[in-house]
Amino acid sequence: MRNTVRTEGGTMKRYRSYRSNAGGSNVRRWRVAGIVGVAVVLAGVGLGVANAATSDTVPTVNCPQVAPRLVSVPASAKAEVERNLALLNTQIQEANKRLATSAGQGGPNFVQNAILGPLKDKRASTIDRIAISIGRTAAKPNLPVDSLATCGLNQNGGGNAAPEPTAVAGPSAPATGGANAGNGAANGVPTVNCPTVEDKLPAVPASAQAEIERNLALLDTQIQEANKRLASTVGQGGANFIQNAILGPLEDKRFSTINRMETAIGRAAAKPDLNAEELSTCGLNQ
């Protein structure tokens, strides 16, 4: 488009009027937007790769299996053993979560001190309870607790978060005419019959878990000691000997232990009423 302008001297000058450069600006804007879009896509891909690499390099715990070591579990101990095997899996899963949420924290010994060490203590208590529960009515298994409780790391992640089968095999049928030598009741020697406590517990705060496990193991030990006392004192005392010398003292020990468990939970949560009076009273498997 041409425009004419008259100058002061009367002469006429023509010049070309160009349209707005909006079209060129739009082109440049589209080019910039395209470059930014590509950069965002590449950045997103980079972040995805970085995140994938990070998740792949978070270690997971690697623990020995306990269940295959349990050749024959008495029917009376089966439920308790299976609960504790499930607890071993839960402990592994909790340790894996802790590894994931604390990546990069602490010094070189953080994982050992804060995760693997406490996990070993929990596993040792749980494995002890498994052995004790079997030992009440059969030969107590000789489980290498220290090695079974010690876990390592899968440095590249993965691994089995629930390595323990939670169903165990029962005992094989006894030979004809024989009896299980480890079963006192089968040989005419009574054994104590106490209410279970672990299944009555509410959710246990992490800060109380170790103390609760120690006291659950102590309850098992108390039962085992009472059974030994029953076996070693057959025929002794009068009609009230067992009640006065074995079941009465056992009730007192259990009452104190259950109260300690209530107190341990109550430090970090609502204190439960476990009905210690009822749970501490044991009878006999005649």
Domain boundary among 105, 135, 170: 170
Q: Which two tokens stand for residue 20?
A: 């707005």
Domain that holds residue 67: 59-170
Is position 278 within any domain?
A: yes
Q: What is the pTM of this model?
A: 0.45
Is position 266 within any domain?
A: yes
Is position 121 within any domain?
A: yes
Domain boundary among 38, 57, 76: 57
pLDDT at 236: 81
pLDDT at 14: 56
pLDDT at 12: 56
Is position 153 within any domain?
A: yes
Q: Which two tokens stand for residue 260?
A: 């300690």
Same domain, 44 and 78: no
pLDDT at 74: 85
Overall number of domains in the chain? 3
pLDDT at 285: 84
Is position 6 within any domain?
A: no
10-residue averages of pLDDT along the chain (286 residues) = 54 52 54 52 43 60 88 84 93 94 86 94 94 85 88 85 79 36 54 90 90 91 91 82 92 95 94 92 86
Same domain, 45 and 65: no
pLDDT at 155: 84
Same domain, 285 and 221: yes
Same domain, 65 and 37: no
Tens-place pLDDT, residues 199-222: 889 988 989 988 998 999 999 999
Q: Concatenated DSSP letters for the chain?
A: -EEEEE-TTS-EEEEEPPPPTHHHHHHHHHHHHHHHHHHHHHHHHHHHHHHHHHHHTS-EEE---SGGG-----HHHHHHHHHHHHHHHHHHHHHHHHHHHTTT-S-TTHHIIIIIHHHHHHHHHHHHHHHHHHHTTSPPP---HHHHH--EEETTS-S-S--S-S----PPPPPTT---TT-TGGGT--EEE----GGG--PPPHHHHHHHHHHHHHHHHHHHHHHHHHHHTTT-S-TTHHIIIIIHHHHHHHHHHHHHHHHHHHTTSPPP---HHHHT--EEE-
Same domain, 246 and 261: yes
Is position 7 within any domain?
A: no
* CA distance from start to end of the chain: 117
Same domain, 92 and 131: yes
pLDDT at 43: 47
Is position 178 within any domain?
A: no
Is position 10 within any domain?
A: no
